[in-house]
Amino acid sequence: MKAQCNVVFTVLYLTFFLNLLAIKVTGQTAKSQEKHLKVIVFADTECPITQSYMSELKKMSEEYRSKNVSFEAVFPVYTVTDNEIKNFLKKYGVSFPGNTDKAHQITSRYHAKVMPEVVLLDAKGQIAYQGAIDNWYAGLGKNRPKPTEFYLRNAIEATLNGNPLMTRRTEAVGCLIND
């Protein structure tokens, strides 16, 4: 019996030690390494609401990078060029990628209607949340001094922690995506 307890203790100790080593080497727990979330931001270089959210999106992408959350901007505008997207992201100091979606394949897949609109995909690629980044904009031309509800941030945190989402869908306010 004592030998079995020693074996169990040794296994538990080694498991703890290896997890601690993984945290020191990667800065992440085994649990966080398993999850990879993705935020798709539907954006337009000329939309004032998209422009006003770029600093917040930059901050969030930097904050959550270490937690295996990636960001990608999708530009569903027929006239935008790759060079314009590159310059737009550079202007706002954003390090996440941006791509055109002129054929609206991604836009149609997620039924995005406005820019900016976000889609949070869980580790299985399923939609965990879709809609507004926060409630800063109540309507076109109607914004609060600062947001009071942080939909995307709350959805990311809940998904990372394995908690149920209180809000899975909101209506985003922004520039319409033309068909």
User: pLDDT tens, 123-149?
Assistant: 999 999 999 999 999 888 888 999 999
SS3 173: coil
Q: Is the dihedral of CA 163, 164, 165, 168 positive or negative?
A: positive
* Residue 144, number of CB atoms within 10 A of its CB: 12
Domain ranges for the chain: 1-29, 35-176
Confidence of residue 1 (pLDDT cuts 50, 70, 90): low
Instruction: Identify the CATH assignment for 35-176 out of 3.30.420.40, 3.20.20.80, 3.40.30.10, 3.30.390.50.
Output: 3.40.30.10
**Average pLDDT of span 76-89:** 96
**Can you list the positions of beta strands (E) in the chain?**
37-42, 69-75, 98-100, 114-115, 117-121, 127-131, 137-139, 142-143, 175-176
**Contact, 137 vs 49, CB < 8 A?**
yes
**pLDDT higher than threshold 90 for residue 24:** no
**pLDDT higher than threshold 50 for residue 109:** yes
**Average pLDDT of span 41-46:** 98
**pLDDT higher than threshold 90 for residue 28:** no
Tokens coding 42: 């539907």
Q: What is the predicted pLDDT for the residue at 142? A: 87
Q: What is the predicted pLDDT for the residue at 141? A: 81
